[in-house]
Chains A and B, each alone.
Chain A
Amino acid sequence: MALLEVKNLEVYYGVIQAIKGISFEVNKGEIVTLIGANGAGKTTTMQSIMGLIHARSGEVIYNGQQINNLPAHKIVHLGMTQVPEGRRVFSELTVYENLMMGAYTKKDKEQIKASLDEIYEIFPRLLERKNQVAGTLSGGEQQMLAMGRAMMSNPDLLMLDEPSMGLSPLLVDQVFEIIKHFHEKGTTILLVEQNANKSLAISDRAYVLENGRIVLTGTGEELLASPEIKKAYLGG
């Protein structure tokens, strides 16, 4: 069964139509990627799924429940969250406080403690810097913090918006390793990426977004092998 289902989504910025009726789904346990160039509508799609931008028409269904009229903070309570583009950690709060913000919806102290320990285990760097203000972290560390913060809510569905953006190749590899790790732990992943090579390699399925429309879909392997994709996104 589809965990997340998007049907005929249309989003406008004023009179400009950014998303021109897209439909796709993410099944439980999958890693699904939306790839596309700058301005294709990837981030807009993510933000309208999360309720940060209101879609003009279409439906978003999560776990059988229609969520497209819910505000973002209520959607988080349903068990999905997002690592936003550009990390957006709270720079005035410490690493620890940022992680605790991620558990804002959680009440069970023991469960929060367990999640915290797990995050520190995956990201030992965050443990080293737990009392450091997040604004002083490097870009890579901030990305780790943003991912750890999102995982503190124990989401069933984790959406990541360009997690590899602006990172060194070594860190990019690390980010994809961690996404795989989250996935193995049972989290369903919806990934938005410009790094088509790396993201298709770990994806079960992928959709190609161009000018607000889905132009191609297939399994990660199929798309990696597709000549069109090679030409447009993989540099020949």
Chain B
Amino acid sequence: MNFITNLIGGLSLGGIYAMIALGYTMVYGIAKMLNFAHGDIIMVGGYTILVFTAQSVHPLIAIALAIVFCVGLGVVVERVAYKPLRGASPLAVLITAIGVSYLLQSLAQMFFGSGTKMVTGLDLGSFNIGSLKISVSTIVTLLSCIAVMVALNLFVKYTKTGRAMIAVSEDKGAAQLMGINVNLIIMITFAIGSALAALAGTFYLMRSPSIYSTFGSLPGIKAFSAAVIGGIGSIPGAMLGGILLGVVEVFANSVSAIAPYTDAIEFAILIIILLVKPTGFLGKKRREKV
């Protein structure tokens, strides 16, 4: 019985990691950069929900506003911080991303202080099936993640914009020759990634409703690991990696002897997979084009 509870919990946490990992992997695939500020978008989403629920705005509206705000923020960050560096060395872009990450965390501290704040109104209670106690938020998270991933896959595979994203990730120059506005596609990618981050932040708050300025760091870094495990740049890879880490985390946490080492186990998986298969599960060897 415990096994089933853990499995559902693990899949649901994995879904959250997968959603965040999708942001990393899509941005990497299309803009060829590691957006280390991605985790902090989750934090901004969390604080947005805090602000609005504190004004007794309906939680669903607060979540929608958080998504809108994060999409705006993601697009602005891309335009202001990353776009001017198109063509610059990857190191410069990486350092800029880390700078943006600290900037967002510091802004959060300026506005909300460094203490932990509680978000109310996201607790959906729980229900019992036989002796099984399952929280509603776990199920909502799981179903939403599945819906989002199916929708994203359909979007990428069957829409003109989605296919343009594949084209840009494969060959920016050839994509331009098709008449694709590469900058616009990169912007759309950031917008989608940020929307997913805001959603992931919401589900993370449903699990534990406390928010602080480094709220996004740990899920961010775990989701990044998930993206690398799955093969960075690969959308199904990000989903697979995220689910794997989520399930491992919940099962490890359920065994009291190894629970304190859960994070270490997750990162050990990353290291082992990188040693055995450096491209991740579904990553492709990229031929560097001259």
Contacts and interface: CB of A to CB of B under 8 A. Distances in A.
Interface of A: 50-52, 71-73, 76-77, 81-82, 84, 88-93, 97, 100-102, 104-105, 149-150, 153
A92 B176 contact: no
B174 interface: yes
Contact of B164 (A101, A102, A153): A101
A101 B178 contact: yes
Nearest to A106: B179
Contacts of A89: 174
Top-3 shortest CB links A-B? A76-B179, A105-B179, A72-B176
B179 A88 contact: no
Contacts of B164: 101, 104
B176 A52 contact: yes
B118 to A, nearest CB: 46
A101 B79 CA distance: 26
A88 B177 CA distance: 10
B156 to A, nearest CB: 11
Given A52-B173, A84-B173, A88-B173, A93 B166 contact: yes
A93 B164 CA distance: 10
Interface in B228-287: none
10 contacts: A50-B177, A52-B173, A72-B177, A73-B178, A73-B180, A90-B167, A90-B174, A92-B170, A97-B163, A101-B164
B178 A84 contact: no
A52 B178 CA distance: 12
Nearest to B169: A92
B178 to A, nearest CB: 4
Contact of B179 (A92, A100, A104): A104
Nearest to B168: A90
Contacts of A102: 178
Interface residues of B, number: 17
A90 B289 CA distance: 13
B176 A100 contact: no
Given A73-B179, A73-B180, A73-B181, A100 B173 contact: no
Given A91-B170, A93-B163, 4 more contacts: A72-B173, A81-B179, A84-B173, A153-B178
Nearest to A87: B174
A52 B173 CA distance: 7
B166 A104 contact: no
A51 B175 CA distance: 13
Contacts of A104: 160, 164, 178-180
B211 interface: no
Nearest to A88: B174
Contacts, number: 64
Contacts of B174: 84, 88-90
A199 B175 CA distance: 27
B182 interface: yes
Nearest to B284: A92
Contacts of A76: 176-179
B123 interface: no
Max chain B C-beta neighbours (<10 A), residue from A88, A97, A104, A150 = A104
Contacts of B170: 90-93
Interface in B159-204: 160, 163-164, 166-167, 170-171, 173-182
Nearest to A91: B170
Given A88-B171, A90-B166, A81 B176 contact: no
Contacts of A91: 170
Nearest to A47: B173
A195 B10 CA distance: 61
A101 B176 contact: no
A76 B163 CA distance: 18
Interface in B129-176: 160, 163-164, 166-167, 170-171, 173-176
A73 B176 contact: yes
A160 B75 CA distance: 36
A89 B166 CA distance: 12
Nearest to A146: B174
Contacts of B171: 88, 90
B163 A81 contact: no
B284 to A, nearest CB: 9
B166 A82 contact: no
Max chain B C-beta neighbours (<10 A), residue from A50, A72, A100, A105 = A72
B91 to A, nearest CB: 19
Max chain A C-beta neighbours (<10 A), residue from B167, B177, B182 = B177
Nearest to A89: B174
A105 B160 CA distance: 11
A73 B182 contact: yes
Given A84-B173, A88-B171, A77 B163 contact: no
Contacts of B166: 90, 92-93
